[in-house]
Amino acid sequence: MPRWLLWSFVAVLCWGYWAVISRLIGDALTAAQSQALSTIGLVPVVIALAASRRLTASGNRRRGIAAAFCAGMLACAGNVAYYHALKDGGSVSTLVSFTALYPLVTVLLAMLLLRERLNRFQIVGVGLSLVAIGLFNVTGDEGLVSYVLFLFNNAGLEGVEIASGWLRYAFIPIALWGVAGLLQKISTNHISGELSTVGFLAAFVPVALIILFFQPISGNVTLNTWFLVTALGLSFSLGNLAILAAFANAGKASVITPLTGLYPVVSVPIAILFLGEKITARETAAIALALVSVVALSYEKPTTKGTSSL
């Protein structure tokens, strides 16, 4: 097995487990506290990256680091919203697949701001993602029809029944992670992937300090909770480290990017088999469309340089 393929599988596993660990934390911590304490798990990865000999800059070093740092702050905020959606009743199986649509935001922003063009696969991905959002967002045949009319002629959301309160929070990480992805792409135009990732993860530290200032941790946090929040941060950061290793071992961005974007294929089975979650036929269809759209949105020509993922 090629090394780049092995590292890609490691990234998928890491992000897949990251997506479900917060459910295990439960109500022991608030969503913001989970994000703050998970920073502990980032420390060993940041140290390993900081020791790399490839922390070089090919362009504007200050601009590249600033873009990576801002991307990290947005990712933190998106993570908090994701954790909140889980605590507000969202199931891992549906939430993970839904929020995996964030590349849609990155692609659209790249078109508007960086003058990039959608290829045929990405156009299909945009269409599929809109259908998937509709299936996640409404219940009943009348609601779905209203959603379709809203998309095509701005008919409004009258008659549309929102599936659940958690869905309102689920749109936040899609938006924030999507913008963060654009900033990471801008960052890697100026500095190496390793330096970009260090700047990205470094942003988690001040965010954690601010959160803990306003929401201090009480003394009754169990050892199991400390273990889980550390695993939360470690799995998130190891996913970034693994995708860098995949690129470094001659892997093509056009293959690695869509492959590592399929972490829901790890999260969804775990949620169903071990967390006892159940999904309806409508949610199953939405998950399937979301996964296909993630692959399509992530597809790039082999000549396009890849960036580290969220």
The C-alpha atoms of residue 244 and residue 191 are separated, in whole angstroms, by: 13
Please give the C-alpha separations between residue 117 and each of 72, 100, 120, in angstroms, as whole numbers: 26, 21, 10
Over the chain, what is the mean pLDDT? 77
The C-alpha atoms of residue 192 and residue 187 are separated, in whole angstroms, by: 8
The C-alpha atoms of residue 144 and residue 302 are separated, in whole angstroms, by: 38
pLDDT digits (tens, 9 = 90+) for 21-77: 988 888 889 999 999 999 999 998 888 888 877 676 567 888 989 998 999 999 999
Q: What is the mean predicted confidence (pLDDT) over 1-13? A: 82
